[in-house]
Amino acid sequence: MEELSIYAVFGVDEPPREMLGPTEPGHKPIAIPAFVQQVVLFTKGLWGKHTSVTVELSDTKSNPIISGKLTPKNKSLCWEYWEDCIWSSGATLSVKLDSEMMAVGDLLIPDLTKKEFTPECPVAPPVMREGPGKRKRSGPEPGNGQPGERKDEQPATTQASTRTPPIAKPRGRQAKTLTQSAPLDCPSGRWGQSLCPIDPQTAILIGGQGAKMQFCKDPMWKLCTEDQSWVPAETLAEGPTPEARIGHTATYDPESKRIFVFGGSKSKKWFNDMHILDTQSWRWTMVEAQGKVPPLAYHSCSLFRGELFVFGGVFPRPHPQPDGCSDSIYIFNPEMAIWYQPIVNGDKPAPRSGHSACVVEGKIFIFGGWDTPVCFNDMYMLDLGLMEFSAVKTSGTPPSPRSWHGCALLSDSRFLVHGGYNGNNALSDTFIFNTETSSWTTVVHPQLTSVPRAGHSIINMTTAGSQDSMDEEPIKDTDESPKQLFIFGGGDNEGSFFSDMITLSMEDLED
């Protein structure tokens, strides 16, 4: 068999062009023909000592638009343009084999995976329309109004508007240019994604939706918290990857070292599939589970003693009845690959979606969420030993009603709530709840109050050296290992999606 060659196909009428191989040993980039809508790349021949090929598409100013990797397990890529004229003139395609440098004109592109750090990424461009989630119970269907339409009334307290987050129109040509030149050393701006820690130095980002209601073309990244660098990860794992989605959950089990991805939605499609990523073999599998669970999005999923506890979420109803919210508990047992519903007693929470849930000392604490038109700021507790719900009477000033907020467990008795959406506006305030005293404390910190955001991700991780940081039990207050809070992504309800990473030490937060 001949040596390794890389070929590109532009459109449906063009023959393959050899970009790198025996007859084209150099690294000369290829200009993409005008008005091409598809680009396909594939390899042929023996890989030998080579482990990967990085391919990159750049604009007329050599700004990267999108990149990907070819490997012996993933020998082809297909890109389609999703914005008007993004490849219409001057775009170029280049390839890089192993650690060699690629020339694009007079510019050399380094290996992006070897950067020592990732600087704060610029805000992704403003382009939201009607946000995902639950449709209205009355009135016109979402999307029939003007994109980015805002109501004139004041922000809701216990009543939210019957809209999902409105998404603004593009604001000028510059915003569109930013979209085309999205940075390749960090994820594109998005909301509705999941960010899942798998060890003290690593977290996995999955899914999300960004500008113009487009599902992210870079759906999976690996975050190294030690130097806050990102590595594209969508081609690292074998097996069937989950379809693009938002409002899903990704839950890591430290015992089996697997990530469980459940549910979510894509446009008007809801999912009830369960995908598992083995972080040791880096292989995806889709579970053919027994039992029944409805398609759900914006639910919560909590791990306790090896089982996944799913509560709430949006589920679809047949037309013309609008979508509804769930108030049920579904449990997934990975060992038996079965879904079942437990008998639950006590004072159940109202149906809701976009809420948060934290497991503390064998209890799930559920806060906030909404079921149109009501937005909640109540707190409920599910005792996992008794399987009994109870309303939690709290002291202190609680957060205002909200959904799609961020939540992170800080210790064995405290969790943090930040940001969210109240039916009219994105929020930037922060609160800590103490489960021992059932009290709320307001936190004011310039890094947290600078930008309102909703649909973002928050994780709390310890630095290297802690042996217990990823155990099933929460980190104890006595643990002396340094801890950091990481906040990624989200949107501001004014048309912007974020790709920045906020880091905050627990010492600074407590101070």
pLDDT digits (tens, 9 = 90+) for 241-297: 999 999 999 999 999 999 999 999 998 889 999 999 999 999 999 999 999 999 999
Phi/psi zone of residue 92: left (φ > 0), alpha (ψ -120 to 50 degrees), beta?
beta
Give, as one character, the DSSP assignment of residue 113. G
| Alpha-carbon span 161 to 149, nearest angstrom | 12
Q: Higher pLDDT residue, 177 or 506?
A: 506
The tokens describing 16, both together, are 């393959």
User: How, if at all, do strands 388-391 and 345-346 pair?
Assistant: parallel
Q: Where are the domains of the chain?
A: 5-113, 175-510
Q: DSSP of 31-70, one letter per residue?
A: EPPTT--EEEEEEESB-TT---EEEEEE-TTS-EEEEEEE
Residue-wise pLDDT for 166-180, tens only, equals 333 333 333 333 333
In the chain, the percentage of residues whose pLDDT exceeds 70 is 74
> What is the structure's pLDDT at 139?
30
Q: Could you tell me if 58 and 103 are in contact, meaning their C-beta atoms sit under 8 angstroms apart?
A: no
What is the average pLDDT across 302-315? 96
> What is the structure's pLDDT at 252?
97
Q: Which fold has domain 5-113?
A: Jelly Rolls (2.60.120)
What is the average pLDDT across 417-430? 95
> What is the structure's pLDDT at 176?
32
What is the average pLDDT across 202-228? 91
As assigned by CATH, the class of the 175-510 domain is mainly beta
Those residues with Cβ within 8 angstroms of residue 25's Cβ, 6 or more apart along the chain or in another chain: none
> What is the structure's pLDDT at 140?
27
Residue-wise pLDDT for 120-147, tens only, equals 343 333 333 333 333 333 332 222 222 2
Owner of token pair 């694009």: 104
> What is the structure's pLDDT at 354?
97
> What is the structure's pLDDT at 49?
75
How sure is the predictor about 421, in pLDDT bands with cuts at 50, 70 and 90? Answer: very high
What is the average pLDDT across 436-452? 92
**Kind and range of the H or E run holding 205:** strand 202-206
In the chain, the percentage of residues whose pLDDT exceeds 90 is 47
> What is the structure's pLDDT at 81?
62
> What is the structure's pLDDT at 285?
95
Q: Is the pTM of this model over 0.75?
A: no
Q: Which phi and psi (to 5°) does residue 213 adopt?
A: 60, 25
CA angle, corner 282, sides to 293 and 356, nearest 5?
40
| Alpha-carbon span 123 to 10, nearest angstrom | 31
Give, as one character, the DSSP assignment of residue 172. S
**Least confident residue range of 20-29, 282-291, 424-433:** 20-29
